[in-house]
């Protein structure tokens, strides 16, 4: 059994080292950034000085004809690289053309290295390290497929250059001021071993880098999709997965619609049930409410015991009319779903209010919450506390935004705790003339408005 487990672990590690876990290719934004760095950084400050140095070496090389051929090949490869980068920037990194242009650019970069190796001697220069750097850069900055192409081409180029040098198709190190004699080229067996070791080392380098990137990706996925999902709204989790989330942005003011729901009589129920039963029922209830809210595109702001706070309009913006319509529909379905959950009988009361609030991260550097705060939020909470079991109580602004989609019953101005002025409130009693199906039908039998 231990051997079987060890074998499975080895297969898993080998699979993660040789394959990709990220699926999609590098984003257009990343392609643009990488090619800008290459075109406006590496080309003028690294590659062009190297090319002029090669021209100088070719002029003084012991085999001028071969040296000039290699130098011109280097400049042609640089032109290929610049052309590829220019195409990527011209199309803003989008589409299949950008992908092919990126491969063209990478091909040019690797070819400049191969020309340098031919000019200085493939087995006696540092060119192999350059291939390693390109492999690492392509895997970290771009993606698996690009780095795999770089690795295959780099190994194939190393072997090709070494072979044509052994067979005398090109003079050895034509950039040198005098003919070069090296023991590696005199002993065929040693040269073959050297190239084989270098090729295997490049392959292992790719596997190690790819494994490290895949482990980093697994950790990123665990943090974003397992840990953050418990504490942040789905929209923020998706932004975190893309690397676009910043938790230090200043809070902003915007119009939101807030829903508070609370179980009626749950406190007394917990006194009759054991701790295990309470935890089981509460988790089932909160999971059902969260799943329903997410299905409606809402943001579950927080759980407060058995209470649920839901927000529309943050973090993703939404027109106030759409916020009100969606929130009331969600509230009605939450009431209905609560009464049909298996186990102990549960009933829900809900308060909804629309207004301005401040949206963002609040807390300290060590602990903060993404939430909404403001008078509109307080009114929604007080409306819920003033409501009745199985009913949805909404504020005047929400009622105005519904534009006749629901039948509403005024409950008069309410004096709410902590709110200075009386608040006009309405009970949702049915679908109005503006909703599909016309008035008079029970809510659960009507189609979704709009």
Task: Tell me the CATH number at 268.
Answer: 3.30.70.1230
**Whole-angstrom distance, CA of residue 136 vs CA of residue 138:** 6
Together in a domain, 171 and 271? no
Model pLDDT, residue 446: 36
Q: For residue 399, tell me if it sits in a domain.
A: yes
Of 275, 305, 291, give the one whose Cα is nearest residue 341.
291
Q: For residue 291, tell me if it sits in a domain.
A: yes
Together in a domain, 284 and 425? yes
DSSP designation for 434: T
Inter-CA distances, 27 with 34, 92, 287, 388, Å: 11, 11, 34, 51
Burial 242-280 (b: 16+ CB within 10 A, else e): eeebeeeeeeeebbbbbbbbbbbebeebbeebeeeebee
Residue whose tokens read 């999971």: 287
Q: For residue 241, tell me if it sits in a domain.
A: no
**Whole-angstrom distance, CA of residue 295 vs CA of residue 131:** 49
Residue whose tokens read 């390290």: 129
Give average pLDDT by consecutive 10-residue segment, the chain, 450 residues: 59 76 74 93 94 93 93 96 95 90 92 92 82 87 86 88 85 89 75 84 88 83 70 66 65 92 81 78 89 86 90 87 94 92 84 92 76 91 90 93 88 84 88 48 38
Together in a domain, 276 and 153? no
**Whole-angstrom distance, CA of residue 112 vs CA of residue 431:** 72
| Residue 241: Cβ within 10 Å count | 15
- pTM across the whole model: 0.60
What is the rounded (10 degree) CA torsion for 214, 216, 217, 220? 160
Together in a domain, 283 and 390? yes
Together in a domain, 281 and 430? yes
Residue whose tokens read 């179980």: 263
Q: For residue 235, tell me if it sits in a domain.
A: no
Among 214, 229, 244, the domain boundary falls at 229
Range of the domain at 71: 2-229
Q: For residue 248, tell me if it sits in a domain.
A: no
Q: For residue 338, tell me if it sits in a domain.
A: yes
Together in a domain, 196 and 294? no
**Whole-angstrom distance, CA of residue 96 vs CA of residue 101:** 9
Together in a domain, 327 and 195? no
Together in a domain, 221 and 146? yes
- Structural domain count of the chain: 2
Q: For residue 246, tell me if it sits in a domain.
A: no
**Whole-angstrom distance, CA of residue 150 vs CA of residue 392:** 61
Q: Which residues pair with 354 in a beta bridge?
A: 257
Omega before residue 315 within 30° of 0, cis = yes
Model pLDDT, residue 280: 85
Model pLDDT, residue 6: 62
Model pLDDT, residue 274: 74
Contact 352, 394 (CB under 8 A): yes
Contact 235, 315 (CB under 8 A): yes
Together in a domain, 6 and 49? yes
Q: For residue 351, tell me if it sits in a domain.
A: yes
Together in a domain, 195 and 288? no
Of 370, 221, 375, give the one whose Cα is nearest residue 300.
370
Contact 204, 136 (CB under 8 A): no
Together in a domain, 158 and 259? no
Phi-psi category of residue 138: left, alpha or beta, with phi > 0 → left and psi -120 to 50 → alpha? alpha
**Whole-angstrom distance, CA of residue 76 vs CA of residue 14:** 38
Among 229, 262, 282, the domain boundary falls at 229
Together in a domain, 268 and 156? no
Which residue spans within 174-272 are E strands per DSSP?
252-263
């Amino acid at each position: 059994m231990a051997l079987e487990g060890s074998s499975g672990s080895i297969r898993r590690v080998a699979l993660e080292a040789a394959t990709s876990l990220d699926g999609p290719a590098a984003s257009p934004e990343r392609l643009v950034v990488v090619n800008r760095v290459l075109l406006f950084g590496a080309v003028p400050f690294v590659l062009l000085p190297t090319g002029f140095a090669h021209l100088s070496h070719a002029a003084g090389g012991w085999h001028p004809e071969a040296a000039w051929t290699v130098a011109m090949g280097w400049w042609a490869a640089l032109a290929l690289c610049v052309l590829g980068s220019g195409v990527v920037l011209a199309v803003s990194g989008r589409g299949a053309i950008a992908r092919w242009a990126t491969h063209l650019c990478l091909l040019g970069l690797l070819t400049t290295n191969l020309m340098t190796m031919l000019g200085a001697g493939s087995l006696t220069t540092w060119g192999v390290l350059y291939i390693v750097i390109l492999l690492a850069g392509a895997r970290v900055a771009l993606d698996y497929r690009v780095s795999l192409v770089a690795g295959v081409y780099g190994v194939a180029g190393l072997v090709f250059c070494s072979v044509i040098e052994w067979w005398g198709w090109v003079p050895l190190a034509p950039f040198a001021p005098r003919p070069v004699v090296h023991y590696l080229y005199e002993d065929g067996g040693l040269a073959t071993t050297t190239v084989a070791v270098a090729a295997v080392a490049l392959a292992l380098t790719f596997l190690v880098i790819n494994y490290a990137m895949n482990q980093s990706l697994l950790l990123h996925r665990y943090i974003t999709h397992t840990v953050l999902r418990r504490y942040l709204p789905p929209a923020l989790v998706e932004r975190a997965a893309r690397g676009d989330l910043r938790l230090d942005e200043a809070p902003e003011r915007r119009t939101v619609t807030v829903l508070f729901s609370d179980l009626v009589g749950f406190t007394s129920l917990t006194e009759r049930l054991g701790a295990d039963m309470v935890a089981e029922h509460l988790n089932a209830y909160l999971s059902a409410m969260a799943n329903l809210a997410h299905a409606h595109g809402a943001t579950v702001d927080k759980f407060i015991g058995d209470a649920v706070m839901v927000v529309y309009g943050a973090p993703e913006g939404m027109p106030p009319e759409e916020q009100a319509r969606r929130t009331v529909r969600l509230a009605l379905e939450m009431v209905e779903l609560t009464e049909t959950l298996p186990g102990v009988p549960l009933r829900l009361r809900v308060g909804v209010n629309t207004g301005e609030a401040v949206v963002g991260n609040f807390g300290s550097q060590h602990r903060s919450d993404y939430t909404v705060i403001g008078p509109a939020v307080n009114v929604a909470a007080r409306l819920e506390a003033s409501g009745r079991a199985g009913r949805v109580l909404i504020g005047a602004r929400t009622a105005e935004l519904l534009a006749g989609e629901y039948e509403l019953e005024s409950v008069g101005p309410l004096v709410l705790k902590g709110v200075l002025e009386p608040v006009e409130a309405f009970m949702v009693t049915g679908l109005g003339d503006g909703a599909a199906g016309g008035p008079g039908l029970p809510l659960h039998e009507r189609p979704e408005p709009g």
